[in-house]
Chain A
Amino acid sequence: MEIVRFVLDFPKERTGKPVVYQLVKDYGLIINILKARITPEEEGRMVIELNGEKNNIESGLNFLAELGISVKALSGKITLNTEECVHCGLCTGVCRTGALSLNSECKITLFAEKCTLCELCVGTCPLRIIKIEF
Chain B
Amino acid sequence: MGIKKTYEEINEKIKKGEAVVVTAEEMVNIVKDKGVREAAKKVDVVTTGTFSPMCSSGAFLNFGHSDPPIRTTKCLLNGVPAYSGLAAVDCYIGVTEPSEFDENYGGAHVIEDLVAGKRVKLHITSYGTDCYPCKELDTHITLKSINQAFMFNPRNAYQNYNAATNTSSNILYTYMGTLLPKMGNITYSSAGELSPLLKDPLYRTIGIGTRIFLCGAQGYIVWEGTQFNKDMKRDKKTKLPEGPAGTLAVIGNLKHMNREFMRAAKFQKYGITMFIGIGVPIPILDEDLAESTAISNADIFTNIVDYSTGRRERPTIARVSYQELQTGRIKIGNKEIPTAPISSIYKARQIANVLKNWIEEGNFLLSSPVQNLPVEGIFKPLKIQEEIKWKL
Contacts and interface: CB of A to CB of B under 8 A. Distances in A.
Interface residues of A, number: 20
B346 A93 contact: no
A1 interface: no
A102 to B, nearest CB: 7
A88 interface: yes
A5 to B, nearest CB: 22
Interface in B333-379: 338-347, 349
Interface string A101-114: 11001110000000
A101 B328 CA distance: 9
B71 interface: no
Contacts of A86: 51, 263, 275, 344, 346-347
Contacts of B265: 126-127
A125 to B, nearest CB: 9
A40 interface: no
Contact of B344 (A94, A106, A120, A124): A106
B341 A123 contact: no
Interface string A10-43: 0000000000000000000000000000000000
Interface in B240-283: 263-268, 273, 275
Nearest to A123: B268
Interface residues of B, number: 30
Interface in A80-104: 86-94, 101-102
B263 A89 contact: no
Contacts of B180: 93-94
A94 B178 contact: yes
A124 B178 contact: yes
Contact of B177 (A87, A93, A105): A93
Nearest to B177: A90
Tell me what chain B mostly uses at the interface: helix, strand, loop, or mixed: strand
B339 A93 contact: yes
In this complex, which of A87, A88, A92, A102 has the most chain B Cβ atoms within 10 angstroms of its Cβ?
A88
B349 A106 contact: yes
A126 B341 CA distance: 13
B346 A106 contact: yes
Contacts of B187: 90, 93
A123 B341 CA distance: 16
B340 A128 contact: no
Nearest to B104: A128
B207 to A, nearest CB: 29
Contacts of A101: 328
B340 A89 contact: yes
A123 to B, nearest CB: 4
B53 interface: yes
Interface of A: 86-94, 101-102, 105-107, 120, 123-124, 126-128
